[in-house]
Structure formats: C-alpha cells, structure tokens
Structure 1
Amino acid sequence: MDYSFLSPVQDQLLDELELLHDQTIGKKLRIHSRTLEPSLEGVKMAIVGVLESRNSVDYIGEEFQFTEIRKAFYKLFPGNWSHDIADLGDIQRGETVEDSYSALIQVVSSLIKAKIIPIIIGGSQDLTYANYRAYDKISSMINIVNVDKSFDLGDSSKPINNGSYLGKIILEQPYNLFNYTALGFQTYFNSQEEIDLMEKLYFESYRLGAITHAISVVEPVLRDADIVTLDINSVKSSEVSLKQKYSPNGFNGREICAISRYAGISNKVTSFGIYEYNPSQNDEATAMLVAQIMWYFIEGVNCRIKDDDFSDSNSYLKFTVLVESEELVFFKSKKTGRWWIEIPFLEYSNTKLKQHPLLACTHEDYISATKGLIPERWYKAYKKN
C-alpha cells in the first residue's frame, strides 16, 4: 500500500487508546501512525478519511477533522467478527480539489484491487465522483446506491458540487454507470425536472416513507450495489448535534444503521462512503452515530454468506413464470432463501457464467409475477437496455 497520500492518525488519539478496554475496536485495529505503516495482509476493510469539502455549496473556508468520529468508533466493542480492519488515516486536501480527487481515486483503486473494502469518511459528497472513477480500470458495469434526501443530479453544465456530482458521473466518459438508486428521497428537496429525469433514465428511487414503512425493501437494491454513498443529512435533525441539523424529517438512528448493515451484507458492495459530516464542539451525538453506522456496515460484512454461485445447480431452486409475453426466470438460494430474477436481454461481456446476469429481488416479486405482475425493478432494467 502506498501511504504517500495518507496522513497518520493523530498522536492524541493513539495516546487515548491506552485508556480503553482491551476488547474495544481501537485495540484491535491496524492503525497508520507516525511510526507505523501497517501491513494490509489479511485486512478486509480499511477506513479512509478525506478532508475535502471545497466543492460543497455550503463551503465557507472552514477546516475539519475526524477526531471525534474515531474517538467514538475506537471505544465501541466489536461483534463476533472474523475480518481484520485497518485505519489508514486521512487524505489531506490537495492544492486543488482535483488533487484530492486524484488521491482518493488512487487509494480506493489500490484497495479494491487488493480486495479490501474502503470505508470512506468525508467531506462533501461530491467525493463519490472520485470513488466512482476509481473503478474505471476495474469494472465497466457499476451500480451506485445513494442514501440521501435528494438525487444530486444537479446542473451538469456547471462545475461539480455536492449536489450535482451524479450529473457528471452520467455524462462523463468512460460511461461505467449501469444503474443509480436513491434511497430515502424527499420530494420537496428535488425539482420536478430532476424527478422526471430519474424516470427518463429508468433509475430507481425509493421515498423516505416507503422505506421507513418496510426497511427490508432496500435489501435487494443494496445487494446489487457496487458503491454505497450515504449523506448524513438524510438523518432527521433530532438524531444529531446542533451543527449537523438539517431537516425534521429523515431516517432515525436505528433505520440508518439497518440500511448500513444491509449494505455490508451485500456480497457485491466493494466501497462504502459516509459524507457531509459537520463537526462542532458539542458533537457527541453525530460522531457516535457515524461510528455506529460504520460498526453496522462492518457487522454486515462479517455476516456475508456466499449464496450467489449459480454455476452449481444444487445450490439454488429455479422457477419460471410466464407473464404476458415475457418468460420470467427466478432463482432462490437454498442457503439463504434470497431471490434473483434473470435479465435475458443483457449480456455482460466479462462474465464467466453461461447464464444471463441476475437482478436481486424479493419473494414478493415472485408472488406478484405468479399473479401476472412484472416486477418494477425488472421492467426498469429492461427499458434501460
């Protein structure tokens, strides 16, 4: 691992580690310090802070650190985890924002190639653009899931910011984006033009109320994601500290942690980012919430079950349903009971499997198909191609 882009964790935090219980996360992490650049051999996840927010529409020149988040995270106790975790420190903001993007691209790319999942703490959410670009030479089919109050499509004709990075992702070559999904959007934070564009592009969106009514609706969406980007402003103001307060409506702490755990459980998610953190003096609530979001993602990764090996016909059940003129083929894992639906019209050029790519779905989607209803996710994937 090239540590040239990364500054070590502050000595103050390492000194405070000595006071923690021996079983806390802080005592078990491989931490990049002033005197040690840890080996990443056997590491499954790596925490990376990015001290960049100059492309935020609210940027007023302030600097920030992730000291309080790390302090809160280090003092938590791990679950029954089997994977090693590293804290690589922070990417300092470069001379320009593009320099910061470039550093993040190189760090994330090298981690993914080493099969290590980066857990990115930001910074403004436009850093998702750099996270996405890290996949340019790794994969040509990327699914992004954004946990956010708004779509972040913005005006792509203007310079990138934390409310328009998606427009840049869509329009800039190389075109690697296959699908984009917004989780928890609130209509009054999105223009009708953006809502119409989401429909036109056959992207997916789930309103806040639909998710809070049944949180499990996000599981198949996150099962298909490569990148999960989370705006902390999607959490309602009563759950966070004064400077972080944004809206009275949003996810509560339990819901945002459940979403984070679903992201971790997904076998496909290879990077996870938490953005728009605004530190303040009385910051315990927000810092602890971010720490717990990280904890639940890591818990999810440790609970991953390899149930999507469809080359072994003994590992799944296959169901064929005729709906109108379409033949829908469903697969159910014998190991976990999770469901997928075949996408017969899409070919992955780099797939090693003989069957068509599969889209994660629910048992309810199968039941609906038997009643003559085509699942909406399948329909959008169909129209997109």
Structure 2
Amino acid sequence: MMTRKLVVCATPTGVELGKKICENLNIIMRKEFDRLKDASPYSLDGSKFAIISHLREYNRRTFKNDDFALWPVTAQYFKSGEVKPVIQASVRGAEVFLIHQSYVPITPIAVRAKMLHEAKTYEERLKLLEQFSRETSVQENDHLAEFYINALKSDGAAHRVFLISPFFANSRQDHRRAREGLTSRTQITLFEAAGVNSLMFVDLHSQSLVGLSRTHSDNFHPTTELVSRFKALYPNYITDFVVESPDAGATKRTEHINEHYLNLPMGISFKSRDYTTVNTVNDIVVTKPELVKDKYAVVFDDIIDTANTLKALTERLCERFGCKGVVAIASHALLSDKGVDNIDELYAKKYLLKLITTDSVSRPPSFAIEHPWYEQVSLAPRFASMIYNIYMEQQVDSVHMD
C-alpha cells in the first residue's frame, strides 16, 4: 500500500453529495484511527494506521484540521460562456475521486412562464431570468465533468481519477433503432478520452453499458437501502402488500428483488409506447388484477422521469382493480417536465403513498416538506466506504450495493 494523497472533489452539480460523502468518510477514518492506534507497527493493521496518520497530516496542511473536506477545485466562467476548472491545491500523485451528478432538476417551461407572469416588477423578472440561466442540461454537466477529469489527470498530474456519477445520463440510449446514435457509448468514450481511470455508476439502465467501457467500470445497486427504508415505513408489508412490475423490461429486476428481499405475491404489467415520441405511454395491461384487490402495491423501477408510466399504472390499479394505494421505489427520481405534478396529483387522490428514492439527484431539504410523498435514502455512506476500501486496496465486495 502506498501513501498517496486521497482527494475527494466535486463538479458544481456534485457538491452536495460530495459533502455528504466527506462527512461519512470522516466517520470511517476516525473509527479506524481509534481501532488501529494500538496495533503493532510491523503488522498490516499498523501499516493501515500509518497511512491514516499520513492522510490526517495531508488534511491538516490543506484544511487546517484532520478531517476530509471537498478539495478546492472550482469552475471559472467567462462572459462568453466558456469555462475552465481551477485546481487550487496540488493533486500531483494523488488518488482522486470526482463526485458528479449528471442531472439537476430544471424548471419546466410552463412553470417558468407562470413565474414570470406572476412577477410584479422588472427586478423580479430579471432575477428569475438569471436563475433560469444558471440551470444546465445533462450534456452541459457531463461536458464540464470531462474538463474536470482532464484538468485533474493531465494538468494536475493526479495518479488516478475515479468518476463517481450515480445517475449516468443517456443510459437509456444503449441500443439502436434505425439511424439513432448510441449516445451512452459516446459519453463513456468522452470520459475515457478525458483521462478517467475508473467509472462508478448506480443502477445503470442496462448492465451491458459496463462492457462499453475500456477502463474499469462498476455498477452498484442500492436495493438494500431502498428496501430497508420501505420495511421501516411499512412494517406490516407481508400482509398488506403485493409486488407489481411496471413493465416487461422491469420484470427480471422486480423478480430478483422480490425473491431476495420481500417474497410477496407478484404481478406483471405491460405498457405500449409510441417510440416516435419520447415519454409517451399508450396503454397499460395488468396481467393479474386479482392480486391487487384490497391490497397495497409496491412498484420497483430504475428511473422515474416524467412519471407518466407510474401515473398510468397507479390509476389503472386503483381505479379499475381496487388497489388501496401504491408505493414506488426507484433508484433515480428525475421527475422532469410534469413529473412532480403527476405525483402530486396521485398523492392528492391517495393513490400514491410514497416515492422512495436515492440522492442520485440532489434536491433541497424543503422539497420533502413541500411534497410529503418524497422519501430519500442517501448513497453517501456506501460511497464513503467504497472510497476507503479502494484507497486501502481492500475488496469492495462488502460495500458493493446489491
């Protein structure tokens, strides 16, 4: 094991998650420091203690205390819109973990128009326009992440750069119809060209995407955390709930989760889409409607985007087949366009009880207060454990998400 600096930094969109990861990493480091401080210097534990001591010394030089904080890397913007990452402390020879979130909630066009219409003064409208101008698309966010990777690896001379990007944007475009582009492959290629050494994602839309990377890639599943929160919220789930797959594509994952975590009766739904238009659901077919009558249903999915599928399925289960309510569990809750409005409507009708998701998409604490159906589980403890194990050259099996 080599005593290299351990650096955790973040792109502008990954700052909040990065802070949580640093907090959890500090907890791990303090526990390990206390556990190993009496170990023999000639033992493996003694070597680990020496490494942790060196890391604390690095932190004292940079942050004036023993704890980890986000490394000072910032983005400077020109008036023309050009941008450059600035590394404000040396990362030469360091193991760098870059925290990045591709998707940040964007105010829908209709909501923007309403807010501007309701603004009473010119100054209020100007302030709103400035706020909207700071909202960025997934393409802009990922492009900036490429600049960060290149600055850290090529210009900063980091030893290795690990990109932690929980939600991988464009992951749904992993196969081709007619003359469509494989944007998922293109994005991975761009990360590699920038100099990344390892890619870490959460619940990719297709496991095959791992094979597109020529560098090391990991795909983690937060099933344990999500199901644990569900069981804590609904302790009588064994008698009250059934499992419903939202579509044919999610059947295999739903069967796996149900078999290993819940062992409940399970039904399968099918949806028909118009693939010439994105985010469009034509119809929902429920194969075992008798299962959901007078029961609650739990629905698992990897991504909830506009919530059109969830809305159609929930209304079909509750209005036609007598389901008492639905709990949705998803790794990534994008809730773009009318996603929040769709779920607000379901919650108002008492059709949807909760949406349990992760912080792969960062939202302010006020969001859960304004929308009581929103329940968030943090990925930070697992990522902190993973960073520690990778840095200490230990197996990550024990922290690998199921």
TM-score normalised to structure 2 length: 0.30
Please say which structure displays the higher CA radius of gyration: 2
TM-score normalised to structure 1 length: 0.31
More helix by percentage: 2
